[in-house]
């Protein structure tokens, strides 16, 4: 068997009740939620019983998903599942860094709370949307975006799937251009045009926040969204992390880089199965598992024990 990677979920799949099962079955998961509640009272209650509309607000989504992602990873580790390296999609990069020891749980959680505030503010100041473009090559999507004044490819998810951030007033015209090229455009249910120049003020705010913070050397490799290569430490790592929210997520390249480094098993820790699907489309021979609750945890443990 090759290496095992944990990949940490991003925004989009949040739902009421997420993480509650893990908090009951795993003491290590429960510790994560207790930490989150100490620093941000009510976080676990939002995860377990919050309304969907509330969870969809960036200011709440990011801290809550951080807690569920990290809880799932700690539950997997507690159950004896090995992990050789990690990556996280967008928001998921922060719990990945905490899991790998580059940041303490507390420092990473404070950071995600600040990140949520800054990105929420930037989203309200810049009216943009995100559109998933399907059935077209990334190069075709780049060409389409180049014909608009405020449209950028921001998530290179997998072959045939690229997400675009675009100004609200240009969204319909972009969708029409995609259709003309025989592609499909699907508007995403998110509250801002993330990973684009619209997030510049948020990135600047993160640079200021991280100026006096220390990012240590990860104990296991953490592949960065911005570079598709492992993080270092110190000022260079802080610069990459701050820029992440205004830079494209190079997910397809990240998965391929991990495979080239010997990964053949990907375990999505957190909410939903989005990353499992993207991995399967990028690396069809890789094995994928998803851990969001006890059922998924038990299934992954049983399957991995057979190899």
Catalytically annotated residues? 90, 195
Q: Which residues contact 236 (CB under 8 A, 6 or more apart)?
A: none
Torsion of CA 63, 245, 120, 163, to 10 degrees: -100
Question: Which two tokens mark 102?
Answer: 């580059």
Side-chain-side CA neighbours of 240 within 13 Å: the count stands at: 22
Alpha carbon 228 to chain centroid distance? 13
Of 157, 278, 172, 286, residue with least CA distance to 225: 157
Residue 57 per-residue DSSP state: S
Burial class (CB in 10 A: 0-12, 13-18, 19+), 177: buried
Cα-flanking dihedrals φ and ψ of residue 273, to 5°?
-125, 20
Length of the chain in terms of residues written: 307
CA–CA dist 134, 130 (Å, integer)? 13
End-to-end CA distance of the chain: 7
Residue 51 per-residue DSSP state: -
């Amino acid at each position: 068997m090759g290496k095992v990677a944990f990949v940490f979920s991003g925004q989009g799949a949040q739902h009421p009740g997420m993480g509650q099962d893990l908090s009951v079955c795993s003491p290590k998961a429960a510790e994560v939620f207790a930490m989150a509640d100490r620093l941000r009272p009510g976080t676990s209650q939002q995860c377990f019983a919050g309304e969907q509309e509330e969870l969809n607000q960036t200011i709440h989504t990011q801290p809550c998903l951080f807690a569920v992602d990290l809880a799932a990873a700690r539950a997997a580790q507690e159950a004896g599942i090995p992990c050789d390296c990690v990556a996280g999609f967008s928001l998921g990069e922060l719990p990945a860094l905490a899991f790998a020891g580059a940041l303490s749980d507390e420092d990473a959680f404070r950071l995600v709370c600040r990140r949520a505030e800054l990105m929420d503010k930037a989203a309200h100041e810049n009216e943009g949307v995100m559109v998933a473009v399907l059935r077209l090559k990334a190069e075709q999507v780049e060409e389409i975006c180049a014909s608009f004044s405020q449209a950028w490819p921001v998530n290179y998810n997998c072959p045939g799937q690229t997400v675009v951030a675009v100004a609200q007033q240009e969204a319909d015209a972009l969708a029409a251009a995609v259709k003309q090229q025989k592609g499909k455009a699907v508007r995403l249910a998110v509250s801002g045009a993330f990973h684009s120049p619209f997030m510049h003020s948020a990135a600047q705010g993160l640079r200021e926040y991280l100026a006096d913070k220390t990012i240590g050397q990860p104990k296991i490799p953490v592949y960065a969204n911005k570079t598709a290569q492992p993080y270092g430490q110190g000022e260079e790592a802080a610069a990459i992390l701050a820029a992440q929210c205004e830079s494209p997520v190079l997910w397809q390249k990240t998965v391929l880089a991990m495979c080239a480094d010997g990964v053949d098993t990907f375990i999505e820790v957190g909410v939903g199965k989005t990353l499992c699907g993207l991995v399967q489309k990028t690396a069809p021979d890789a094995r994928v598992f998803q851990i969001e609750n006890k059922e998924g945890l038990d299934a992954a443990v049983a399957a991995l024990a057979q190899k």
